[in-house]
C-alpha cells in the first residue's frame, strides 16, 4: 500500500504523546488520516529544506520534533 499525506495544524493526544494529524489518500483514492508521532530526516540527509517546512508548521511542530535524526 502507498499513501500520500500532508500535515494539518491539528495536534491530537495519542496516549501519553501528542501526535500531528496528517490527511491524505491511498493509491486507490481512499481518503485517510494518520497520527504521526515522529518524522525525521535520515542522518546522512540534508535537513535544511525539511527544517524550513517544519518551522512553517508552527511552534508545536518545532517543539515535538526536537531530538535528532534517524539512522
Indicate if the alpha-carbon torsion angle 46, 21, 1, 31 is positive or negative: negative
The CA distance from 43 to 70, in Å, is: 6
**What is the pLDDT, as a whole number, of residue 59?**
54
The neighbouring-strand residues paired with 5 are 24
User: Residue 41, CB half-sphere, CA atoms under 13 Å: how many?
Assistant: 13
What's the whole-number mean pLDDT along residues 7-12? 86
Note the pTM of the prediction, 2 decimals.
0.65
pLDDT at 16 over 50: yes
Domain boundaries, the chain: 1-37, 40-71
- Tell me the C-alpha distance between 25 and 57, whole Å: 20
Amino acid at each position: 500500500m502507498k499513501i500520500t499525506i500532508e500535515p494539518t495544524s491539528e495536534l491530537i493526544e495519542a496516549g501519553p504523546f501528542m501526535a500531528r494529524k496528517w490527511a491524505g489518500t491511498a493509491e486507490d483514492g481512499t481518503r485517510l488520516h494518520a497520527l504521526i508521532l515522529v518524522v525525521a530526516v535520515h542522518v546522512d540527509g540534508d535537513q535544511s529544506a525539511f527544517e524550513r517546512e517544519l518551522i512553517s508548521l508552527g511552534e508545536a511542530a518545532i517543539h515535538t520534533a526536537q531530538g535528532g535524526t534517524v539512522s
